[in-house]
Amino acid sequence: MERVNVAIVGGGPAGTAAAHAAASDGAATVVFEKGVPRADREGLGPDSTDAAGILDYWVDIMDIHPDEFADDILLQHLDRAEFIGPNESCTIKSTGIESSYDQFGYTFNRARFDDWLRERAEDAGAEYRTGVRVTGVDSDGPEAVDSDLDVDSSDDDPRHVVSLANGDTVGADFLILTDGPQRTVTNKVLDGYLPDGKQASELLASPKVNHIAYQEYRRFPEEVFEELKTSIKFWWGVMPGHTAYPWVFPNDNQVCRVGLTMPIGLDIDAIAEREEYALLKPDDDRIPQGDLHPSTARTRVGRRVRHRDRFPAGRGPRQTRRHRNVQHFVDQPNRIPSRSRHRGRWRRDGDDLGVPRGRRPRRRANRSHRGGVGRSW
């Protein structure tokens, strides 16, 4: 059986950051990443779909300044966040937290950022293995997670044994679980430490929090992009749910990430006064959702078909008949279009906000897997 000091399950930012720290301290470290294909990456890598922006104080928390990045990672420096409601709006230009980074925040190419973190960990001596699926972990029990960090790796029996889909096993003195919001491996491991009748999947994923109902990349008209390229925008009161909000995050080359965050399990049939919500028609029986580019991969997660972004940096979707019904910001980003039955068109009637809206998806699209919660960037 192969032996290492540190085994890490999941090769996203948390996993590669842990790998960098462990390897920098001289530990024999290996990262296991199942990997997914993306059009903007050669070979397999982490999902790299969500979380593509950083506020100023996170630069110091991460201890990674954007000046360290390769040229193709940082997309936009941000100077504000705009929050737009039906009656009131506000703009925030400072987080109020002291930071070594002078801007409000920044957006970045998530896939390239993840690859850079991997390269950084490998440069420190960590091994990163893709296309490797972890099927289970056997640990010594509570004593395997005690406070004694002085482990003799020459012991015959490792504290943790990681089982891989190909039948191999890897022994590790320390185990770090960073397998993303779905927690496929983490939940199984933690279940062994919980009382009978308790499951980690129920404790770690509340059904009352948010998930991203959809997100996509859209190319904006030049004059619109120039107005919003240094800001992140959120709208409230245009969809039901106290924590429901459409949002726009700027990338580059006139492309923005556009999305809708909704409460998990929202029952649209229970919404009585639908006329109060600009993006909800009285006869809607599904949460409005945008179509994605035909090249977008679809990954089945539980009962929900989850659409994954696969665009290379700076490339927007082709305008084909298949997704004409996806709405665009056109020339007035601060106005809300009324819902028109004519696909792919705006019809303005004097409203004073602007948000994207799309066709009505199957109801299943609003049933998030329990892991994908509460993240809009």
To the question of pTM greater than 0.75 for the whole model, the response is: no
Pairing of strands 53-55, 105-108: antiparallel
* Structure confidence at residue 270 (pLDDT): 80
Same domain assignment for residues 214 and 183: no
Structure tokens at 239: 């969809």
Looking at the structure of the chain, the number of domains it has is: 2
* Structure confidence at residue 32 (pLDDT): 97
* Structure confidence at residue 374 (pLDDT): 32
* Structure confidence at residue 365 (pLDDT): 35
SS (H, E, C) the chain: CEEEEEEEECCCHHHHHHHHHHHHCCCCEEEEECCECCCCCCCCECCCCCCCEEEHHHHHHHCCCHHHCCCCCEEEEECEEEEECCCCEEEECCCCCCCCCCCCEEEECHHHHHHHHHHHHHHCCCEEEECCCEEEEEECCHHHHCCCCCCCCCCCCCCEEEEECCCCEEEEEEEEECCCCCCHHHHHHHHCCCCCCCCHHHHHCCCCCEEEEEEEEEECCHHHHHHHCCEEEEECCCCCCCCCEEEEEECCCCEEEEEEEEECCCCHHHCCCHHHCCCCCCCCCCCCCCCCCCCCCEEEECCEEEECCCCCCCCCCCCCHHHCCCCCCCCCCCCCECCCCCCCCCCECCCCCCCCCCCCCCHHHHCCCCCCCCCCC
Same domain assignment for residues 360 and 217: yes
89 inside domain: no
70 inside domain: no
Same domain assignment for residues 332 and 310: yes
- At which residue do the structure tokens 């039955």 appear? 341
| End position of a domain, from candidates 164, 187, 203 | 203
87 inside domain: no
Same domain assignment for residues 44 and 164: yes
Same domain assignment for residues 172 and 40: yes
| End position of a domain, from candidates 203, 228, 249 | 203
* Structure confidence at residue 308 (pLDDT): 35
CATH code where residue 27 lies: 3.50.50.60
CB-CB contact of 376 with 259 (8 Å): yes
The one-digit pLDDT tens for each residue of the chain (377 residues) are 999 999 999 999 999 999 999 999 999 999 999 999 988 888 899 988 766 899 999 999 999 999 999 888 999 999 999 999 988 999 999 999 999 999 999 999 999 999 999 999 999 999 999 999 999 999 875 554 444 555 555 557 899 999 999 999 999 999 999 998 778 899 888 888 888 888 887 777 666 667 777 788 899 999 999 999 999 999 998 888 888 899 999 999 999 999 888 887 777 778 878 888 888 877 777 766 554 433 333 322 222 223 333 333 333 333 332 233 233 333 333 433 333 333 333 333 333 333 333 333 333 333 333 333 333 33
Same domain assignment for residues 135 and 224: no
Q: What is the span of the domain harbouring residue 241?
A: 210-366
